[in-house]
Structure 1
Amino acid sequence: MPKTLPKTICLVTSGMGIVLHSPWATASIAQGEDFLTSRFSNPTDVAELVNSSRIAAFCTGSPGAWRLHLRTDPPDETALVQADYKVRLGIEVRDGILQIRDLFELMSWDAACDDEQVIQLTDGFYRITAYTSPPESGILGDDQDIHLHLEAVSEPAQLVHRGVPQLCD
């Protein structure tokens, strides 16, 4: 059963990035396909998908264990200013579902997604503000908090990423 927001998801990644999408945006990917190599490894291709709001993705700089704090309200401006890393993205949600995945899941595609990584949202466009700072250990991905604010907007976000969006150095 999909979760509603606010929600915290603990996501362990093998890849150096996190991907958010609604199933409609990945419906053309064949079961078992290596989408990462074929269509999501060239920075220009990633930027095109991200700028279209079909798929939201960002580089974390490291594999690791992440606590994703998802909310539908605007970010706290003080927390946003104090964060070491931040990025703006957009996403179009259809059929009320948003999936959150490890980048490496794109290497052997499976449309099924762990229930803990599925969020229920109203259909429409969302502006995503993601921000984080290194954990106390100083090691990226060491039980690190990432805040993701998904604000409903009336049209797709106007994004101009020229490569893979970075939520790291």
Structure 2
Amino acid sequence: MDDTFPMDDLDRRIVLATQAGLPLVPRPYLALAEQLGVTEAEVRQRLARLLAAGAIRRIGAVPNHYAIGYTANGMSVWQIDPTVIDAVGARVGGLQSVTHCYRRPDHPPAWPYNLFAMVHGKSRAEVEAEVGRVATLIQAEFPGALGARDILFSTRILKKTGLRLGE
């Protein structure tokens, strides 16, 4: 089954015009409409359709966690029983403290981890405590599913953007 969403020229132009953020004006959808030569209603309808189809994930403010004091960023890595990894991933990914959650192939014995979950905090101790709470949750809700775990802390930002469509 093909999960791609067919975007026409206007959809693509809307994505290109918004992928770096909405215009910072009182009526951003009107500004986009004027830029694109369509109505404000058309921009809103198209964005709603793109959201509903999953072609775009969200429209909203994305805070710079570094600027607001969340400078300890830990990618928690987990060795999870493959028979329950999807359920564990859904549970962990749904936690407010987890901003990204991914299933990835493991490569034992050197790399036994198959679930990754990003946790941000104001200190390493805060991240470590939250990861400890996540481990306790996994152990309680999925007995026997948790193996090794670790936290990989960021040391510097190399790139901080999402996917960008080319012109």
Query: TM-score, with normalisation over the residues of structure 1?
Result: 0.23
Q: Which one has a larger percent helix, Structure 1 or Structure 2?
A: 2
Bigger-Rg structure (1/2): 2
Query: TM-score, with normalisation over the residues of structure 2?
Result: 0.23
> Using CA pairs below 8 Å that are at least 6 residues apart, which structure has the higher relative contact order?
1
